Amino acid sequence: MTGISRGRRVAILLAAGIVGVAVVAAVASFALSFDEAKEFQDDALQQIAAMATSRTDDDAQSRITVLHVPREPLPAWLPRGLPAGLHMVEGPERQWMRVFVADDASHGRVIVFQDMSEIDDVAMGSALQTFVPALLMIPLVAWLTLRVLHAERRRVEAQRRFIADAAHELRSPLTALSIQAENVDAAPSAEAAQARLAALRDGIHRAQRVADQMLAMARVHSASQEAEPVDVAGLVREVIADASHLARQRGVDLGLEEAARPLVKGSREALRLIVKNGVDNAIRYGGDGGTVTVCVRDQDAEALVEIHDDGPGMPPELAARAFEPFRRGTTSEQGAGLGLAIAKDAAEKMGGTVALRSGAGGRGVVFTYRQRIHA
């Protein structure tokens, strides 16, 4: 049996167990309500006996009979000398009667009785009022349970895919590093070894970037920081300052347009990851010597961060899947293709949204993050 089929079997068993518990709870509710209704009927008999006068009272609705002894004769089926209290007595037509006997100093004995079928009918009606809603809840509980299990299974499957892809992504640069190290060792001269060291150094940087992206993804998934007000514009300035060294290396003009100072509620680390990945991708994929502009403003009670580059853009077929893990916008840049996936997961934790669109005239890419402003 495969892992997926085992997971489905566990999900079915768990759903069946929850439904079974719901059925048991419904039956227990029915039984308790049934007994409670019967106790209510017993209380009614006692109250009628206490309020009885010197006449026989036949209630048309519940058909409760009240007898005063010795003034009124006893039915033939009713045993003589019953002690005070509640009794079950077989009636004239072999049906069971519920009988209550009370001693009254002024009127002698008072005997109240009712057909058990009447009591059972009233108790059944009362119990069904509790049982039917519980019974109707069972399909809802089952549906909700299956939905939760389905979502959990998808989450586990996504984690499995991520681990498998991560292992593949790490294996590639490590294999390349091994080959490059062997090439350095086999270099015929110091000059050749120096040239091959440059390739080895690039491979180390790529492996380090892949590891950093994976660690960032893991931190986003495991983070449990409390939400706090975050100054979006201030944080964006910090990210731009950190990215300025990479921008200078690429000859990229990195600038900021700050039209507002909105506050959002969430994690500074999560928002930093979102903006950092957007800026980093714009610098790397926009092309050397280009321009990257980060805009901060508010729109319709939302904080808006837009990162524009004037690079070659991204084909629509790649843009549609750009936020999936290990999807690269191009094949020319180094990395694991996790930047946008990290930004998407962090945005979901913040309660915001991320999106990509083509720039003006189809030139470049615009990375957008939106989140409701925190008052």
At 103-136, the pLDDT tens digits run 877 767 888 888 888 788 777 777 776 777 677 7
With a cut of 90, say whether residue 16 has pLDDT above it: no
Pull the structure tokens for residue 126: 């009362």
Q: Which residue has the higher pLDDT, 284 or 222?
A: 284
- Contact (CB, 8 A) for 142 and 15: yes
With a cut of 90, say whether residue 259 has pLDDT above it: yes
Mean pLDDT for 153-158 is 75
Q: What is the tens place of the pLDDT at every residue in 186-206?
A: 878 878 788 778 777 877 777
Which string of b and e fits 311-342 if b means at least 16 CB within 10 Å? bebbeeeebeebbebbbbbeeeeebbbbbbbb
> Considering the chain, what is the average pLDDT of its residues?
78
pLDDT, residue 1, reads 40
pLDDT, residue 52, reads 57
pLDDT, residue 113, reads 86
pLDDT, residue 3, reads 38
Name the amino acid, one letter, at 9.
Answer: R
Q: Which residues contact 334 (CB under 8 A, 6 or more apart)?
A: 202, 205, 206, 209
pTM of the entire predicted model: 0.52
pLDDT, residue 11, reads 63
Pull the structure tokens for residue 27: 């039956």
Segments in the chain forming alpha helices (H): 3-51, 116-185, 190-222, 232-250, 268-286, 316-319, 339-350
Pull the structure tokens for residue 226: 């409390």
Q: What is the tens place of the pLDDT at every residue in 293-307?
A: 999 999 989 999 999
CATH architecture of 226-372: 2-Layer Sandwich (3.30)
